[in-house]
Amino acid sequence: MSLLDQVDGPARLRGMTADQLTELAAEIRAFLIERVSATGGHLGPNLGVVELTIALHTVFESPRDRLLWDTGHQSYVHKLLTGRRAGFERLRKGGGLSGYPSPAESEHDLVENSHASTAVSYADGLARADAYAGRTDRSVVAVIGDGAMTGGMAWEAVNNVSGADRPLVIVLNDNERSYALTPGGVAGHFGDLRSRGSAHSVFEQVGLAYIGPVDGHDIAALQEALRRARDLRMPVVVHAVTEKGRGFVHTEDNELDRGHAVKPMDPATGRPLSSSSGTSFTAVFGERITEIAERREDVVAVTAAMLEPVGLLGMQKRFPERVIDVGIAEQHAVTMAAGMSMGGVHPVVAIYSTFVNRALDQVLMDVALHRRAVTFVLDRSGVTGDDGPSHNGVWDMSVLQVVPNLRIAAPRDATRLGELLEEAVAWEDGPTLVRFPKGAVGGDVPAEAVFSGVDVLRRSGPLDVLIVSVGVLAGVALGVADALREQGIGVTVVDPRWVAPVNPGLADMARRHRLVATVEDNSRTGGVGATTAQAVQDAGVTTPVRSFGVPRRFLDHGSRADVLSLCGLTVQDISLSVSEALAAIDGGSEDGEWDGELARMSTAEEK
Q: Which residues are catalytic?
A: 244, 330, 358
What is the CB neighbour count within 10 angstroms for residue 566? 16
Sign for the CA dihedral angle at 319, 321, 326, 332 comes to negative
CA distance 69 to 72: 5
Task: Enumerate the known binding-site residues.
Answer: 73, 114-116, 146-148, 175, 248, 330
The DSSP output letter for 554 is P
Q: Using an 8 Å Cβ cutoff, are 86 and 31 in contact? A: no
Task: Enumerate the known binding-site residues for Mg(2+).
Answer: 146, 175
CA distance 424 to 408: 9
Q: How far is CA 555 from CA 41, 65, 292, 388, 522, in A?
A: 18, 29, 36, 7, 12
> What are the start-end ranges of the H helices in 414-455?
414-426
3-state secondary structure 449-487: EEECCEEEEEEECCCCEEEEECHHHHHHHHHHHHHHHCC
Q: Using an 8 Å Cβ cutoff, are 556 and 460 in contact? A: no
Task: Enumerate the known binding-site residues for thiamine diphosphate.
Answer: 73, 114-116, 147-148, 175, 248, 330
SS3 115: coil
Q: How far is CA 338 from CA 296, 371, 372, 423, 501, in A?
A: 18, 9, 6, 19, 21
What is the CB neighbour count within 10 angstroms for residue 290? 21
Q: Prior bond to 71 cis, omega within 30?
A: yes
The DSSP output letter for 518 is E
Q: Prior bond to 501 cis, omega within 30?
A: yes
